[in-house]
Amino acid sequence: MASITVRNLDDSVKDLLRQLAAQNGVSMEEQLRLMIRDGVTGRLPAAGSSQPQPVATATRAPGDASGTLAGKRVLLIISGGIAAYKSLDLIRRLRERGTAVRCVMTAAAQEFVTALSVGALSADHVFSDLFDRQDEHDIGHIRLSREADLIVVAPATADLMAKAANGLANDLASTVLLATDKPVLMAPAMNPRMWNHKATRRNRATLEKDGIALVGPNSGEMAESGEAGAGRMAEPLEIVAAIEALLAPGPKPLAGRRIIVTSGPTHEPIDPVRYIANRSSGKQGHAIAAALARLGADVRLVSGPVSIADPEGVSTVHVERAEEMRDVVEQLLPADAAIFVAAVADWRTASSAGEKIKKQAGNGPPSLKMVENPDILAGIGHHRQRPYLVIGFAAETENLLANAQAKLAKKGADFIVANDVSHAGGVMGGDRNRVRIVAKSGVEDWPDMTKEDVAARLAELVAERLKSVEV
């Protein structure tokens, strides 16, 4: 009997095998064996099958189809960017969850991944041509949209975003986007300069105003060497989470709860051009506000000056100085909970000069008289309208636990989230955090995780604490 060896396969088939094998962490020979087995047992469409599988009944990975995405139908538009390779993994992750995935590829996308790979992973025909009436799979852009619960564009290139923002429709992908009445989620991926270009910013704003949801992009190294910044496509699991949030919104244990969050640094003016500040980026506080909102809370975020965007679904008030932050927080009372994440400046100058302080020969540097800022957390912790739950943070560089315990008592908080902000830890401005939750009853250590994960876990803790309190 003749035997098949990988070496004898066509190059295009070898490419597909290589990608699938890499994704599944097996050898190319093992991948081939699995595919033949799946073909024989009917897990893949039989060779030569001419009809596309109905999306609603697409194959589900065994044992993993009971989640919130099971039975949902996603139309995935892949446009042309290096990140298209990650879309292969996205297809796999969605199908593992029992989601049917049908794909549309732009012409440029096919320069990065093959329709063969996409078709094999989605177990469906791949659509790319707007006018191919000869194609027996032609089902038209309207039907493609009608047979989906959600349209996901990943990667969403600057070009496709521009087309969608301006209502252009000159290929199948853009036509589907113009003709659909289904929710749309885009995962942008592009060079940071393109992402920050005024034109892309305008298009982003238009798309968001039109109700299109965006996930990412993330910051970091780009595939092109030497490039870094915001523009990397969100990771497949982040996109899955965003799909879940849109298609299968989770429980809202914080619905009807009003929660105040402070975030970022404060700037204390010295004169009209100089100020005292600190290294807080606002990432942790903003992530907490977003996580609480996802659980249904009515979140009021009071943010000092930061360079990150206001979180989704949160009402944000921007302030500069500690006194302003205190005033806004007090105006926002009553609330069910308040979480103080801001790195508030402890001191301000006694009076800010009305004009720029000039150097004066022979006089030396000006002496700045400093006065203490109000402690916002302590004020609310002892307020007559004290929220039921008050949580503070403790940024420490030494004696973390002892200092956090002292702050718990002094500031009237229920919990102190203590983190080590010594320079080596890279917490301030970084994306990860390792915290200890300090309460009167004891201390809980959380492992090192992303600031988003800390936020999600803290939001769960808040929900748990407020569960038995009457709204």
Active site residues: 278
Cα–Cα dist 180/426, whole Å = 45
Query: Using an 8 Å Cβ cutoff, are 225 and 248 in contact?
Result: no
Q: Which is nearer to ligand CTP, 121 or 427 (CB)?
A: 427
245 Cβ neighbours under 8 A, 6+ residues apart: 294
Q: Which is nearer to ligand CTP, 156 or 343 (CB)?
A: 343
Q: Which residues bind ligand CTP (CB under 6 A)?
A: 262, 322, 340, 342-344, 346, 373, 375-377, 392-395, 407
In 3D space, the residue among 227, 158, 163 whose CA is nearest the CA of residue 198 turns out to be: 158
In 3D space, the residue among 352, 406, 356, 410 whose CA is nearest the CA of residue 379 turns out to be: 410
- Shortest Cβ 268–ligand CTP spacing (Å): 11
How open is the CA angle 176-181-185, to the nearest 5 degrees? 70
Cα–Cα dist 452/449, whole Å = 8
- Shortest Cβ 100–ligand CTP spacing (Å): 46
Residue 332 one-letter amino acid: L
Q: Which is nearer to ligand CTP, 233 or 394 (CB)?
A: 394
- Shortest Cβ 451–ligand CTP spacing (Å): 15
- Shortest Cβ 266–ligand CTP spacing (Å): 8
- Shortest Cβ 349–ligand CTP spacing (Å): 15
Question: What sign does the dihedral 181-187-189-194 (CA atoms) show?
Answer: positive
Q: List phi, psi (to 5°) of 352.
A: -90, 130
In 3D space, the residue among 350, 345, 221 whose CA is nearest the CA of residue 280 turns out to be: 345
Q: Which is nearer to ligand CTP, 183 or 412 (CB)?
A: 412
- Shortest Cβ 328–ligand CTP spacing (Å): 12
Q: Which is nearer to ligand CTP, 106 or 373 (CB)?
A: 373
Length of the chain (residues) = 471
Q: Which is nearer to ligand CTP, 74 or 395 (CB)?
A: 395
Q: Residue 353: is it exposed, middle or buried by C-beta count within 10 angstroms (0-12/13-18/19+)? A: middle
